Amino acid sequence: MRRVLLTALLLTLVSPLWAADLRTLNWQELIPKDAPPQVPQMTPMHDMSQLGDALSEGGAASLQQFPSAPVVKEMDGQQVKIPGYIVPLDVTEEGRVTEFLLVPYFGACIHVPPPPSNQIIHVTTELGVLLDALYQPFWIEGPLKVEHSSSELAEVGYQLAADKIYPYELPAN
Amino acid sequence: MFLLRLALASLANRRFTALLTVFAIALSVCLLLAVERVRTEARASFANTISGTDLIVGARSGSVNLLLYSVFRIGNATNNIRWDSFEKLATHRQVDWAIPISLGDSHRGYRVMGTNEGYFDHYHYGRGQSLQLTQGERFHDLFDVVLGAEVAEALNYKLGDKIVLSHGVATVSLQQHDDKPFVVSGILARTGTPVDRTLHISLEGMEALHVDWQNGVPARGAGKVSAEQARHMDLQPKAITAAMLGLKSKIATFAVQREVNEYRGEPLLAILPGVALQELWSLMGTAEKALFVVSLFVVLTGLIGMLTAILTSLNERRREMAILRSVGARPWHVASLLVLEAFSLAAAGVVVGTALLYAGIAGAQGYVQANYGLYLPLSAPTPYEWTLLGAILAAALLMGSVPAWRAYRQSLADGLSIRL
């Protein structure tokens, strides 16, 4: 009995250390420091000189996408806490979102340039989160997984199985 | 406990008024619960309709519009998309599977959808459930049709029945494709989604139907193409209405969506079903809140009616209170008698209201399902509904304290002979 109590005491002393393992991330840290700067293509989006092309039957292919953006492999397995906006992928019948993409800014869901693949986290959660509005940011906590692949076809990216999700409040001034 | 019995005995003396009050509260409670139920079930049925599809692609209109006509069969497409655009999508390096769908015909009010085998393999709903056939099999022959569960039940169709499809989406169609009847080859299991209210044919069958409709009217005389002739023609579709895509990696969703939206070949729109659904709900959200507030006010009206009934009876009951005082009741006994009375009326109203709700659902379930595609289950009240009912009872208790206070004051002052 005394042994059990002693172990319990030790564990409670140690747990703050475990909690301290939680790392608050900002989105810049998800881009490796040595990644080449991605220069966007300078062709204007509304170039009317191409209109003739677009109207003909075989339209030109769309702008070439960037190859898969590099990821920070050292993040794999770390407990992280990161704020972001939720883009729902799967919704249960009670209206809880169980699978979503976390992005750094709202408006990734409409046709503005999408964030590159190292600025998107694919999050799954068991309980799901009630999404009142698309523009509400949330804190997500959980272990980050980094999928790394060198092939062109497999999309590399960050995955997270969320432990805690709660709304992000701006600190009161 | 004797207080409760006293309160109920007193109510029994005024049973006509009491019954009316209970009925008023019951109706308002029934209305509140019904509004909540319909709202929750409508949301659930929308959320359940599609799952596992990453992008839906159609002609460029609007995201909610595209979602509504491609998944929920509400509204119509503005334009079709070319077959070669669809092929580019299907062979895109990030796309795992692609289902083409073609809309525009109907059968006695139920929509007809042209698609391919991939639909039965890849379309999922609810929690990742796929479509199951209860009878028969998928379409193999050119003129085979697979029915949704609702269609087969409502119109009483069995395997092997011949169906004539109509042009346009009205319930009563004036233009039939009666030279090319279709044969029922399979019937799907019930899903609780718009799939139940759809007839599924192959894309080639859809082309065969319209092969002699080139000018928007059926051809006459030499232009007519019979079913047999149609079989030997090239039935590769040239255009489809929309496509559902599944991607190899979810993280690629935005990049593929952007590519489709920027495609220079023709104006296309790609949407994420989850996001479009959220936009739809935010549109409906204001109306839902307004409806809820109105129902709350109706409940409040019912409770105020109860309060009025008790207050007006208070004057006539002063002798009753005085008699009770004379046999030893304390003023707070009299006050709590009135609070209990209000509580019993409200409790009875809540019980009768809930019973009315279930009776209503049991009666109207079939009608609502057939006409609106909404399934209202006879399930136990949810925790949220219990909270609402509890709040109504608490409000009734609060209201009961008003006549209780008056009776308390009066019973202190009154003797056995009342000076009115």
Confidence of residue A12 (pLDDT cuts 50, 70, 90): low
Please give the angle made by the CA atoms of B374, B154 and B68, to the nearest 5 degrees. 40
- Residues from A contacting B (CB-CB < 8 Å) are 50, 53-54, 57-63, 65, 87-95, 97, 99-101, 103, 108-109, 111, 113-115, 117, 120, 122, 131, 133-134, 152-155, 157-158
For residue A148, what pLDDT is reported? Answer: 64
**Contacts with A87 (C-beta within 8 Å, 6 or more apart), sequence order:** A100, A101, A102, A103, A108, A109, A134, B272, B274, B275
- What tokens appear for B243 in the block? 């496509």
- Say if B42 is an interface residue toward chain A (CB within 8 Å): no
- What tokens appear for B32 in the block? 């509140």
* Whole-number Å distance between alpha carbons of B419 and B405: 20
For residue B222, what pLDDT is reported? Answer: 62
Please give the angle made by the CA atoms of B305, B311 and B313, to the nearest 5 degrees. 105
Residue B148 — left, alpha, or beta (φ > 0 → left; ψ -120 to 50 → alpha)?
beta
Q: Which CATH superfamily is domain A21-31+66-173 in?
A: Protein of unknown function (DUF3299) (2.40.50.870)
User: What average pLDDT does this structure show over A153-170?
Assistant: 79
Q: Which DSSP symbol is given to B176?
A: B
For residue B97, what pLDDT is reported? Answer: 92
For residue B411, what pLDDT is reported? Answer: 78
- What tokens appear for B187 in the block? 């019937």
* Collapsed DSSP state (helix, strand, coil) of residue B4: helix
Q: How many CB atoms lie within 10 A of CB A143?
A: 15
For residue A57, what pLDDT is reported? Answer: 38
Residues of A in contact with B52 (CB under 8 A): 90
Q: Which of A57, A62, A91, A135 to mutate to test the interface with B (most CBs of B within 10 A)?
A: A91
* Collapsed DSSP state (helix, strand, coil) of residue B416: coil
Q: Which of A117, A133, A152 sits opposite B251 (nearest CB)?
A: A117
Residues of B in contact with A153 (CB under 8 A): 93, 248
**For helices B331-372 and B318-326, what crossing angle results, to 10°?**
130
Residues of B in contact with A120 (CB under 8 A): 251, 254
**Contacts with A66 (C-beta within 8 Å, 6 or more apart), sequence order:** A38, A116
For residue A54, what pLDDT is reported? Answer: 45
For residue B246, what pLDDT is reported? Answer: 92
* Whole-number Å distance between alpha carbons of B285 and A95: 13
* Whole-number Å distance between alpha carbons of B278 and A109: 11
**Contacts with B322 (C-beta within 8 Å, 6 or more apart), sequence order:** B411, B414, B415, B416, B418
Residue among B240, B266, B254 at smallest CA distance from A60 = B266
- What tokens appear for A45 in the block? 């989006």
Please give the angle made by the CA atoms of B272, B276 and B278, to the nearest 5 degrees. 120
Higher pLDDT among residues B230 and A129, named by residue: A129
Tell me the C-alpha to C-alpha distance, in Å, between residue A150 and each of A72, A101, A117, B188, B250.
14, 22, 14, 43, 18
Confidence of residue A155 (pLDDT cuts 50, 70, 90): low
pLDDT digits 0-9 by tens, A77-127 = 888 899 988 888 888 877 788 888 888 887 655 556 677 888 888 899 888
ipTM: 0.70
* Whole-number Å distance between alpha carbons of B173 and B151: 17
Q: Which of B51, B248, B262 sits opposite A155 (nearest CB)?
A: B248
* CA–CA min distance A158, chain B (Å): 8
Residues of B in contact with A122 (CB under 8 A): 250-251
With 80 as the cut, is the pLDDT of residue A152 above it? no
* Whole-number Å distance between alpha carbons of A23 and A143: 10
Residue A52 — left, alpha, or beta (φ > 0 → left; ψ -120 to 50 → alpha)?
alpha
**Residues of chain B with confidence (pLDDT) below 70:** 168-175, 212-224, 415-420
DSSP state string for B49-116: S-BS--EEEEESS-HHHHHHHHHS--S--S--EEHHHHHHHHT-TTEEEEEEEEEEEEETTEEEEEE-
Q: Are B310 and B18 in contact (CB under 8 A)?
A: no
Query: How many residue pairs bridge chain A and chain B with CB atoms within 8 Å of each other?
Result: 100
Q: Which of A54, A89, A95 sits opposite B47 (nearest CB)?
A: A95
* Whole-number Å distance between alpha carbons of B210 and B165: 11
Gap between the terminal Cα atoms of chain B: 32
- What tokens appear for B171 in the block? 């319930």
Tell me the C-alpha to C-alpha distance, in Å, between residue A108 and each of A116, A135, B263, B387, B407.
11, 11, 18, 38, 64
- Say if B402 is an interface residue toward chain A (CB within 8 Å): no
- Say if B264 is an interface residue toward chain A (CB within 8 Å): yes
CA B409, chain centre distance (Å): 52
pLDDT digits 0-9 by tens, A52-90 = 544 443 333 333 345 567 777 787 888 889 998 888 888
For residue B320, what pLDDT is reported? Answer: 82
